[in-house]
Homo-oligomer: A and B are copies of this chain.
Amino acid sequence: MIIVTRKGVTADELDHIRERIEAVGLRTHVSCGAHRTIIGCIGDEHRLQHVPLLSIPGVEAVHAVLKPYKLASTDFAAEPTRIAVGEVEIGGREVVTIAGPCSVESREMLECTATRVRRSGARALRGGAFKPRSSPYSFQGLGEQGLEILAEVRDQTGLPIVTEVMDTRQVDLVAGYADVLQIGARNMQNFALLTEVGRLRRPVLLKRGMSATVDDLLLAAEYVMSQGNPHVILCERGIRTFGTSTRNTFDLAAIPVLKRETHLPVIADPSHAGGRRHLVAPLSYAAIAAGADGLLVEVHPDPETATSDGDQSLDFEEFDALMSALRPFAEAAGRTMA
């Protein structure tokens, strides 16, 4: 931590600032420049996270030296983490696509979707049983019945299942069925929920919140990891900006930034990022070109009749075409596809 003091800071103020830092066990180094006096803090910076330095008289600005996360950092583990999901690993050389409907609507539709997306190259099946909906009057998902359908379809097709958990009370229930537990964008800072999935040893797919910085996302991963669950897959799905031509603003550059800052695998959700069917393919190509480890794609037998997210769901033909067209991009990026 580096503390920049105000112009004209007094000796008493400097002493008091130093006392506060030394009180938590760090040493200080004062450097008097022509315009400002700087105080460097030597020792474990994390101890200063709780100290309201800006409230101390004489302090103008505070700059952190270290990132606020540890376990998620490439400083902690230089090698990329690979997370086994069914028969594949996310974070390895293969580009892994997770596909399926937004919501599980019935056994028939899920079975049919699973069969088709697997044939096109999907390696896991997504589908929501509990749905976060911005309106209380929208379809909220089939609940446990949806989980049962997911498990049956997994048994039938061999595709591991990825499904969202929204409530701390449902973590054990969902973990009883799912291969990967998804934390949605709106719950990325639901710390109680992050702590709860951190107690499991099941992979967690953590979606970036709409207004989360890269550091916020990695701190959310840190919540899960600090409870003992190292199996976190990060997912870029678009952020909220002034833009109105897409549902969210796909922050593509976050992919290479994350690949540099963390050892965790990073996938992209082109469906939520763009919000329209015709954007799913170009966003998918771009994500893989930029280094993403995989994709999360919404596919529905008949998007026009979907109970949720139909605007951005591909039909089977579109998904099949996407997977074919994706392969040369994956190869250009030095990756393989199933």
Contacts and interface: CB of A to CB of B under 8 A. Distances in A.
Contacts of A55: 277, 303-304, 306, 310-313
B241 A242 contact: yes
Nearest to A62: B311
A19 to B, nearest CB: 10
Contact of A246 (B44, B257, B333): B257
Interface residues of A, number: 113
A276 B54 contact: yes
Interface in A192-209: 192-193, 195, 209
A333 B138 contact: no
- Copies of this subunit: 4
Contacts of A45: 35
Interface of A: 2, 4, 7, 20, 29, 31, 33-36, 38, 40, 42-46, 49-56, 63, 65-66, 68-69, 75, 132-139, 166-170, 186-187, 189-193, 195, 209-211, 213-216, 219, 222-223, 226-227, 239-246, 249-257, 260, 273-274, 276-279, 282-283, 285-291, 303-304, 306-313, 325, 328-329, 331-333
Given A54-B276, A186-B190, A210-B211, A134 B253 contact: no
Contacts of A50: 138-139, 307-308
28 contacts: A2-B63, A4-B65, A33-B42, A34-B44, A35-B75, A36-B66, A49-B137, A50-B139, A52-B303, A52-B309, A55-B313, A132-B191, A136-B227, A169-B192, A186-B190, A213-B243, A214-B243, A245-B254, A249-B251, A249-B253, A250-B252, A250-B253, A253-B282, A283-B290, A286-B286, A286-B289, A288-B289, A329-B333
